[in-house]
A = this chain, B = another copy of it.
């Protein structure tokens, strides 16, 4: 194991650790650790809600999840020599749940969870069809997992960090806050909200204190969305062995990360859609001087995925177009088309005996593929979603015999 530069004690809250991380983006959050290019190191990551979600059969914790506390991030890591304009090369050497901790109250200690977030507290991709909170707990067994809340499936995790990114420059941060405020202003009372403005409550900012803390907390961008710096991209393909290239906006790059997922399907559709966990990640940095202009990469990460994701060769796929459930024709709306494809998959799975929520939770957690199949055929986008058939312990393919009926077990807890 590489040297552990960012340790977390699983028995203590995120704010009482030896090194305190952060949960807002701001250039003035001080670097917690400094590393050299080429150095390999390990960091621990806390699950995004810092332990608020329990391994139980209730979804009350999901309904009341403390959205102002997310994401508990490890960092910032200053990289020696990194300057604005460079590309920061990040090698994900390995990533996984907490080694040595096979059970315990903290997600990542041998288990993780998927949540459907309620309309009143975050919402999800299919919030209109699924307005209430649900949860599924997944038990890890090596690189595979199962759930008492979603019986009949077992799959190999597509393990990755949901969130990685460099610190924004002051100008970039201002741009974020401005444009997101403009969006919010179009419908400020919407539920779920259109975006999340800076929120001093529950801000964690490393070693900052006093007036500086207050200033940064008032300005710091929330970590929910992906942005120019990477951020919460939730790209399931960032598995071990991945090399990513991030734009550098501040001296030292100030790289942070967290939101580990044991697995996730494309889109993370239930909002808390991957299998959330704490764990470890092993990283190494390099720098491409002036890489942003040399390669025309001035925003958003580019990457080369690792070569050990789970291999599945047989898929059952569903398609959708950009017509609403009410029959309204929208213009080339791939977001809607993917919603419709996912709803079709859910409808299909219920014929085998799953509840819609079980099917939805499965799509959020398993390594499903979601593709932009057609984006130009006016007026309909066509989106497709692919489920690996081998994850089911029954034959999930359509046939003249009709679907077998599974025992849905205790079902997914609802709040």
Distance in angstroms between the alpha carbons of A373 and B123 in the assembled complex:
18
Contact with B along A305-324 (1 / 0, CB 8 A): 11111111111111111010
Q: Is A23 an interface residue (CB 8 A)?
A: no
Known contacts A386-B305, A398-B245, A373 near B233 by CB under 8 Å:
yes
> Which residue of the partner chain, among B175, B307, B333, B369, contacts A335 with CB atoms under 8 Å?
B333
Which of A14-22, A54-62, A208-216, A344-352 lines the interface with chain B? Answer: A344-352
CB atoms of A308 and B143 under 8 A apart: yes
Q: Which candidate, A24-32, A74-82, A91-99, A248-256, is the interface stretch facing chain B?
A: A91-99
A294 and B403 form a contact (CB under 8 A) = yes
Q: Which of B125, B195, B282, B308 is within 8 Å of A379, CB to CB?
A: B195
Q: Hey, which chain B residues are within 8 Å of A303, CB to CB?
A: 316-317, 319
Using known A-B contacts A241-B156, A302-B319, determine if residue A348 contacts B311 with beta carbons closer than 8 Å: no
A227 to chain B: which residues have CB within 8 Å? 321, 323, 380
Instruction: Please name all residues of chain B whose beta carbon is closer than 8 Å to the beta carbon of A101 when the two chains form the complex.
Output: 1
Does A269 reach chain B (CB closer than 8 Å)? yes
Does A149 make an interface contact (CB < 8 A)? no
**Closest-CB distance, A171 to chain B (whole angstroms):** 12
Q: Shortest distance in angstroms between A18's beta carbon and chain B's nearest beta carbon?
A: 17
Q: How far is the CA of A82 from the CA of B319 in the complex (A)?
A: 22
Tell me which residues from 247 to 305 in chain A have a Cβ below 8 Å from any Cβ of chain B: 266-271, 273, 282, 284, 286, 288-289, 291, 294-297, 299-305
Smallest CB gap from A144: residue in B: B241
Q: Which of A176-184, A199-207, A406-414 contacts B (4 or more CB under 8 A)?
A: A176-184
CB-CB < 8 A to A195: which residues of B? 329, 331, 378-379
Given known contacts A233-B382, A348-B296, A142 and B91 CB-to-CB distance under 8 angstroms: yes
Against B, the Cβ 8 Å flags (1 = close, 0 = not) of A230-246 are 00111111001100010
Contact pick for A268, options B289, B321, B376, CB 8 Å: B376
Taking the nearest CB of chain B, how far is it from the CB of A316, in angstroms?
Answer: 6
Most buried by B among A92, A143, A319, A372: A372
Chain B neighbourhood of A317, CB < 8 A = 237, 302-305
A194 part of interface (Cβ distance < 8 Å): yes
Does A307 contact B310, Cβ atoms closer than 8 Å? yes
Is the beta-carbon distance between A375 and B267 smaller than 8 angstroms? Answer: yes
> With A180-B379, A266-B372 in contact, is A226–B308 under 8 Å at CB?
no
A residues adjacent to B (C-beta < 8 A): 1-3, 40, 87, 89, 91-94, 99-102, 123-125, 141-144, 156, 175, 179-180, 182-183, 192-196, 224-228, 232-237, 240-241, 245, 266-271, 273, 282, 284, 286, 288-289, 291, 294-297, 299-321, 323, 327-335, 338, 340-341, 344, 347-348, 350-351, 369-384, 386, 389-390, 397-400, 402-403
Closest 7 CB pairs of A and B: A93-B142, A313-B313, A234-B374, A195-B379, A225-B380, A370-B372, A179-B329
Besides A226-B374, A297-B398, A299-B344, 7 new A-B residue pairs in contact (Cβ under 8 A), listed by A number:
A91-B141, A235-B384, A273-B376, A304-B397, A332-B335, A333-B335, A334-B338
Q: List 22 A-B contacts (CB under 8 A).
A: A3-B102, A142-B241, A156-B241, A156-B308, A179-B327, A182-B328, A183-B330, A196-B378, A224-B378, A225-B377, A237-B384, A270-B376, A295-B351, A296-B348, A300-B319, A300-B320, A302-B317, A302-B318, A304-B314, A305-B315, A332-B335, A370-B372
